[in-house]
Amino acid sequence: MGLTGWRLLILACFMIVGIKVTKFFIELYCVRRKFQRMQKDGLPMPPHHPIFGHLKLMGEIVSQLPGDIHRHVLPHQIKLRYPNLGPLFYLDTWPFGGEILVVVGPDAAYQMTQSHPLPKFHAMREYLKPMTGGNDLVSMDGKEWRKWRSIFNPGFSAGHLMTLVPDLMKDMSVFCEILRKAASKSDIVIMDHLTTRLNLDIISRMALDTHLNSQLETNDFVSALLNQLDWLSFGHEVNPLQRYNPIRPFMNWWNSRQMVKYIWGELDMRLKRRNVDGKGIQGTRSRSIIDLALDNYLASRPGDHTINAMDTAFRDIATSQLRVFIFAGHDTTSSTMCYALHLLWTNPKARQLLIAEHDMILGPDHKEAARKIEEDPYILNRLSYTMAVAKETLRLYPSASSARSGEPGYFMSGSDGLQFPTDGFMVWSNSHAIQRDPLYWPQPNEFLPERWLVEEDHRLYPRKGTYRPFEFGPRKCIGQELAMIEMKVFLALTSREFEIRSVYEEWDTLHPKAGPRTIEGDRAYQILSGAAHPSDGLPCRVKLVRN
């Protein structure tokens, strides 16, 4: 290439950069001007800067909080600063977080999830695609979503899940043995690591009838899934080296390949089991969620209900569904288990009431609890205070919130009749803010399981629509029944045999770090790691409790 050619190439590069920079500033101007007009028209939002939008405000708030905080706690922090914002308000975080309509009231949340269910936010699909492959229930919409939701619904019904409790107990017994060993060593354990692998074993057994045994040994599928978590990105990172990491696409591809390889092998085994002795759909089979889904899929096809090779369409979509079930099923419940342990340790009265219920329903000898639950899984339905502990844990520490895409011509109504445009906005139902709002919850920051047991006329009785850890509407979490069964079994098997105490003060002495380490005095604040998890993984010490 001659000198003239190089000059033309350099000129072309400068032109491309110039066009992109010009486009950026034009879009910046348009977004900021749009919000300035909205603010002038009386639409609620925090004070808006004509150049920085709400980025300056967000920076001020974040600077006073730990650096690894989960971003779904920010709307609550904004409401603390501006309590008169109301149940709907706008945020301008472009170009890092986009244009957002924040929903922090139950009536407004009802509009976007039930009366007019909005589609899932497009960025969520892109975020999950490396983990799920993209053909999952979270990413689907319309007829396709309805078809596959109906296929998988029976596997997540309470009645079917109760038949799987004896299988669930196998993984719980391994977890309890790990805790016994931890108690004998007296070392600090990172509880989130233990509950994560426990839930990976449980959800894979429930969904796929496969035994990962990840609590005791390494597994290629588990290694790929956990590594993929570290590489997931919304593309909103401020650091360009993180935002545009050139290694990320390769790691996403490699981890996805490992997960698909494992699941395809398991699906092929399911097919062989079904067709043993030529019995087809009536043959001997496991009771896993995927087997019930395959039953429903074959029943929906015209003609012969046998299958001699794994149907490509079913295999591809089932693989995505299993990946999202295993990801979401382990990620959210593992966090809730940790927070339940932390809250019970810091609230000894609640712990004593929990133990008293287990003594009464499951018998005074904790060693008999597992046997009684296996023999009669429906005994779990009698553990009302245990259920209340699980629900109150999820109220204080919801694992996620719901982001939807606004639509042209669709407006949400405020309590005063004000109309809120949604087109072009991420509409964010923020359960964390709703579930800690003193307008709806007396003593909102206190752990009070009894609020779930009082009569309707009691001041603690939860207001309808204010408890949203699983969301409402047709797209509510498909796995909520499984999550609550797991929580009841987990608490029933751990509350009396072990004293599990969070040891953040000791941990901070061993691992000093500059900057804020609490949010509103809470050291176990939520961080982003897939779902919301306890900071530093909830360091704990475990002690055996003698009868």
Average pLDDT over residues 396-406: 94
Best-predicted range by mean pLDDT (141-150, 173-182, 201-210, 274-283)? 173-182
Asked if the model's pLDDT at residue 277 lies above 50, the reply is no
Local confidence band at 1 (pLDDT 50, 70, 90 cut-offs)? low
Q: Say if residues 155 and 482 touch (Cβ distance below 8 Å).
A: no
pLDDT reported for residue 317? 84
Which class for 196: exposed (0-12), middle (13-18), buried (19 or more C-beta within 10 A)? buried
pLDDT reported for residue 341? 98
For residue 83, is the peptide bond before it cis, meaning its omega torsion is within 30 degrees of 0? no
List, for residues 421-470, the tens digit of each pLDDT value: 999 999 999 999 999 999 999 999 999 999 999 999 999 999 999 999 99
pLDDT reported for residue 231? 84
Which class for 490: exposed (0-12), middle (13-18), buried (19 or more C-beta within 10 A)? buried
Of 385 and 478, the structure prediction assigns the larger pLDDT to 385
Asked if the model's pLDDT at residue 288 lies above 50, the reply is yes
Asked if the model's pLDDT at residue 255 lies above 60, the reply is yes
Q: Is 520 left (phi over 0), alpha (psi -120 to 50) or beta?
A: left
List, for residues 43-91, the tens digit of each pLDDT value: 999 999 999 999 999 999 999 999 899 999 999 999 999 999 999 999 9
| Distance between CA atoms of residues 347 and 355, nearest Å | 13
Six-digit token string for 346: 């810091």
Local confidence band at 304 (pLDDT 50, 70, 90 cut-offs)? low
Asked if the model's pLDDT at residue 233 lies above 50, the reply is yes
Asked if the model's pLDDT at residue 285 lies above 50, the reply is no
At how many degrees (to 10) do helices 191-208 and 248-274 cross? Answer: 40
Find, among 255, 249, 251, the residue nearest to 220 by Cα.
255
Locus of tokens 């045994």:
213
Average pLDDT over residues 337-345: 97
Average pLDDT over residues 283-308: 68
Locus of tokens 């967000």:
58
Of 230 and 391, the structure prediction assigns the larger pLDDT to 391
Asked if the model's pLDDT at residue 525 lies above 90, the reply is yes
pLDDT, the chain, mean: 89
Q: Is 477 annotated as a binding residue?
A: yes
Find, among 222, 67, 68, the residue nearest to 533 by Cα.
68
Local confidence band at 283 (pLDDT 50, 70, 90 cut-offs)? very low
pTM of the model: 0.91
Which class for 130: exposed (0-12), middle (13-18), buried (19 or more C-beta within 10 A)? buried
Q: Say if residues 216 and 174 touch (Cβ distance below 8 Å).
A: yes
Six-digit token string for 440: 């709806």
Of 139 and 428, the structure prediction assigns the larger pLDDT to 428
Among 309-313, 315-319, 470-474, the least confident range: 309-313
pLDDT reported for residue 176? 97
DSSP-assigned letters across all residues of 472-492: -STTS-TTHHHHHHHHHHHHH
Q: Say if residues 121 and 131 touch (Cβ distance below 8 Å).
A: no
What pairing do the DSSP bridges indicate for beta strands 189-190 and 402-405? unpaired
List, for residues 477-522, the tens digit of each pLDDT value: 989 999 999 999 999 999 999 999 999 999 999 999 999 999 999 9
Asked if the model's pLDDT at residue 276 lies above 70, the reply is no
Which residues have C-beta within 8 Å of that of residue 468, sequence separation ≥ 6? Answer: 106, 109, 398, 402, 429, 431, 434, 435
pLDDT reported for residue 374? 94
pLDDT more than 70, % of the chain: 93
